Amino acid sequence: MRQLSLADAIREAMVQEMRRDSSVILMGEDVGRFNGAFHVSHGMLDEFGPTRVWDTPISEAGFMGMGIGAALTGLRPIIEFQYADFMFCAMDQIVNEAAKLRLMSGGQASVPLVMRAPQGATGRAAQHSQSVEAYFMHTPGLYLAMPSTPYDAKGLMISAIRSNDPVLILEHKLLYGAASPGGGKALTDQTISDIGSDVPEDAYTIPFGKADIKRAGTDVTIIATLIMVHRALAVAAELEKEGISCEVIDPRTLVPLDEETILESVKKTNRVVIASEDVARGGVGSELTALISRKAFDFLDAPVACVSTDNSPIPFGPAAEQHVVPQISDIRQAVYEVLKD
């Protein structure tokens, strides 16, 4: 089958939906003339013109709010934040408005809007490196999808566009692949496998709340998102040689969360590692640990191990960034830890 990079897969999803449904529009900084800071929207201004692809000023709160207004009145906007870090400039519109309108209006309002944002540490220091999922996982009213492969990216993106509730899609800069300026480095990152890069040409959806078992195993469950899926797979491949069988689960959407797949795996392996790039405190690892201890406590043979970013802003110096952000060795160590006795 045809292989696509993750950036290409997201673009194909947007383009196909925009062809199918004239209410879908794209807005964001440099998404048109410049093709997007990571070239995800390459060629879309040419195809759809400026009434469908809007190059906005640097006004995140403004265009996010406009996305909501447009969504309330018949359009299906896709809002690109150039970096996930800049979502904080639009936090009020996202958290207080987009997420709450359905409830506040007693069900009158629908906000069929997609936010897309690249995240993850790539040597750009504290304000261009954050992983923001925990802030939004904490916000009822939003869906949260995190594609780790091109296949997932396309299917989740199409589902997101067709959703009648606001969806945030977090993309990892290092996963975009060759076509993107952010992807050059990814090519040299041995840890990124080409798993899931076969992408059907026809449009397809991936239902929210359906995790994917990226690798089946019996000794330990590794739950991972975005680039950590690839790092977990690298660990699983290594440890297989030592006779350790890892199951790697990618929830794909954190909201809604496929508890069933996770709990089933835990009941089988009895040992769990959670790997995600957000900071530890109040993060994805803590949330999933709580779930597992509530619902599968009796099945655990060892405490759940969380591999996440240290509770620190991302420091600039490369050695410090590497230390703060989970690496393959951290995941491997955590697997040994949960298998200790």
Ligand X SMILES: Cc1ncc(C[n+]2csc(CCOP(=O)(O)OP(=O)(O)O)c2C)c(N)n1
Minimum distance from CB of 117 to other proteins (Å)? 14
Among 65, 69, 89, 210, binds ligand X (CB under 6 A): 89
State which H helix or E strand residue 188 sits in: helix 184-188
Binding site partner of 322, from ligand X, other proteins, none, Cβ cut-off 5-8 A by kind:
other proteins
Output the DSSP codes for 210-277: --EEEE--SSEEEEE-HHHHHHHHHHHHHHHTTT--EEEEE-SEEES--HHHHHHHHHHH--EEEEEE
The residue among 39 and 215 lying less far from other proteins, judged by its C-beta, is 39
Asked if 33 touches other proteins (CB under 8 A), the answer is yes
Q: What residues are labeled active site?
A: 128
The residue among 33 and 294 lying less far from ligand X, judged by its C-beta, is 33
Q: Are 287 and 279 in contact (CB under 8 A)?
A: no
Asked if 58 touches ligand X (CB under 6 A), the answer is yes
Name residue 115's beta-bridge partners: 79, 168
Cα 222 to Cα 216: distance, rounded to the nearest angstrom:
10
Residue window 128-167: x/- pattern of binding to other proteins, with contact defined by CB under 8 A? x---------------------------------------
Asked if 51 touches other proteins (CB under 8 A), the answer is no
Distances (CA, A) of 305 to 184, 230, 266, 313, 334: 32, 18, 13, 22, 6
Cα 171 to Cα 176: distance, rounded to the nearest angstrom:
8
- Residue type at position 287: E
Asked if 126 touches other proteins (CB under 8 A), the answer is yes
The residue among 55 and 219 lying less far from ligand X, judged by its C-beta, is 55
Residues that bind other proteins (CB under 8 A): 29-30, 33-34, 37, 55-62, 85-86, 88-89, 123-128, 280-281, 310-313, 315-320, 322-324
Residues that bind ligand X (CB under 6 A): 29, 58, 60, 82, 86, 89
